[in-house]
Structures are given as structure tokens and as C-alpha cells.
Amino acid sequence: MWNESFFSAPQLKRDSLGSMIDYQKLTGTQIAGFLALGLLVIGLAAFAPLVARWIPPILGVIWSIAVAMVLRRLAQLGRPTFLLRIMAVVVGAASLLRILYLARHAA
């Protein structure tokens, strides 16, 4: 006899493998972990020998963009965002200035 229950079992719905992250569904803990990881990578990159000139400012720009992307979600969660906005602007601006300086004096 066939096992009909095997074939009639309900199927689970899954997201496609190439789906984008929905930043609206991130929890506060996930956001904090994401930001902490970014700061850790920037801190570790500062100790790399030759690449240290370029990686921190590039990661600083990436971090600022990531913060800008999650600020709205943090505001919806009722978290204060004023200082984080200021940090993102300062880190982004300083990083861009450092990149421009390195590009100009790379020779």
C-alpha cells in the first residue's frame, strides 16, 4: 500500500533565495547587532598594515549609509535617533574627506 499521508502533507511556504532584507521587519536587537558589527569591522580594519589607509574611510561611508537606512525603523520603535544621526553625518563626512585626501595624495 502507498503512504498517502506522505503525499498530502502541507507544504511550507518559503521566501525566494534572492530576496532582499526587509528593514521594516528588523528588531531592535538585530539593528544594534548590525551596527555593532559595522563598528567592530571598522575598528579591526584600522590595524591592517597597507590597506588601513583605505578600508576605514570606505567602511565609514558604508556604515553611515547603513545607519541612514535603519534610522526610520529605529524612530518607529520609539528609539532616540538624534545622536545616531549626528554620528552618521560626522563619520560619513570625515570618511569622504579622508577618501578625497587619499585619492589626491595617492601618488
Nearest alpha-carbon partner for 69 in 80, 45, 85? 85
Q: How confident is the model at residue 47 (pLDDT cuts 50, 70, 90)?
A: low
Q: Is residue 71 part of a domain?
A: yes
The residue with greater pLDDT, 32 or 14, is 32
Q: Is residue 26 part of a domain?
A: no
Q: 51-90: per-residue pLDDT in tens?
A: 667 777 888 888 888 888 888 888 888 888 888 888 888 8
Confirm whether 94 is domain-assigned: yes
The alpha helices in 3-81, defined as continuous H runs, are 4-7, 28-45, 55-76
C-alpha cell at 28: 531592535
Question: Is 29 within the bounds of a domain?
Answer: no
Residue 82 forms part of a structural domain: yes
Total domains in the fold of the chain: 1
34 vs 93, residue with greater confidence: 93
- Residue 72: inside a domain, yes or no? yes
**Distance, CA of 99 to CA of 54 (rounded, Å):** 7
In whole angstroms, what is the distance from residue 58 CA to residue 51 CA?
11
Confidence of residue 107 (pLDDT cuts 50, 70, 90): low
The proportion of the chain whose per-residue pLDDT surpasses 90, expressed as a percent, equals: 2
Residue type (1 letter), 39 = L
105 has pLDDT over 60 = yes
Q: Which domain range does residue 55 map to? A: 50-107
| The three grid cell numbers given for residue 50, joined into one nine-digit string | 597597507
Say if residue 18's pLDDT is above 70.
no
Can you give the pTM of this predicted structure? 0.50
